[in-house]
Amino acid sequence: MITDHLFRSDAYMQTAEAVVVAHTPEGAIVLDRTVFYPTGGGQPGDSGVLDWAGERMQIATAVKVEGGGVGLLPAEPLPMPPVGALVRQMLDWNRRHRHMRMHTALHLLSVVIPLPVTGGQIGADRGRLDFDMADPPGDVAALEGVLNSLIARDLPVTDEWITDEELLANPGLVKTMSVHPPIGQGRVRLIRIGEGASQVDLQPCGGTHVAHTGEIGRVTIGKIEKKGRQNRRVQLVLMD
């Protein structure tokens, strides 16, 4: 049940036709290709709509299924499109785009707070990273200013792939302590912010991102909470 992840090649694709290849015991619809990002890496699964043969179904979220597939979970227990049916999938684009903006902003937060990351979560309005940080940052306003200046530089955000061996030979690429990029598939995706002398970040990531940092818009640093002896949770908020 391998699904072609269309969002990998074009995170801005909002609609696409596909064929139903399976139903899971949990009630998810598996397609041969999808624009829906499945929950993972701290990023929520996409929601949207599925149309077929005059029928319409609201999709609550997308999840990973065994074998490399993506399953779309209906918002209500309605009759599902049969296996073999041609369907049209449509994202809740506003929600997805806000996830993209927040995800890229959190990568930049890990630049202005250059400490190991112990966790994270992406939301449509708020997100957060947890850092291995014994003491809270002294000047939050200054950090926020640096972060927004990076965003305003409108740096390009691009991706590339390296082999498992290349990642293992460059462990400094991995910022997360608790979750490591999956290896064993032969290659790992990297997200690069900036290019050449203007590069500010390069790290493994399977999520969706904006094409330029200016698309994020202004952000503010919210609460900073202590979550353990050496763990601080830093919240980030999209301003519009």
Say what the pLDDT of residue 182 is: 62
pLDDT digits (tens, 9 = 90+) for 53-87: 999 999 999 999 988 899 999 999 999 999 999 99
Is the pLDDT at 12 greater than 80? The verdict is yes
163 and 68 in one domain? no
Residues 83, 175: one domain?
no
- Report the pLDDT value the prediction gives residue 180, as an integer from 0 to 100: 64
Q: Which domain holds residue 218?
A: 96-238
The length of the chain, given as a count of residues:
240
Residues 179 and 101 placed together within one structural domain of the fold: yes
Tell me the three state secondary structure of residue 207: coil
Average pLDDT, the chain: 93
Question: Which carries the bigger pLDDT value, residue 222 or residue 187?
Answer: 222
Domain count, the chain: 2
Mean pLDDT for the stretch of residues 170-178: 74
Encoding tokens for residue 57? 């179904």
Final residue of a structural domain among 91, 122, 137:
91
| Cα 203 from Cα 159, distance rounded (Å) | 10
Judgement on whether residues 13 and 57 belong to the same structural domain of the protein = yes
| pLDDT higher than 80, residue 89 | yes
Same domain? 153 vs 209: yes
Instruction: Specify the pLDDT at position 22.
Output: 96
One domain for residues 158 and 47 = no
pLDDT confidence tier of residue 181, bands split at 50, 70 and 90: low
> What's the pLDDT score for residue 122?
97
What lies within 8 Å, CB to CB, of 54 at 6+ separation is none
- The domain that holds 192 is classified in CATH as 3.30.980.10
- CATH number of the domain enclosing 30: 2.40.30.130
Residues 75 and 100 in one domain: no
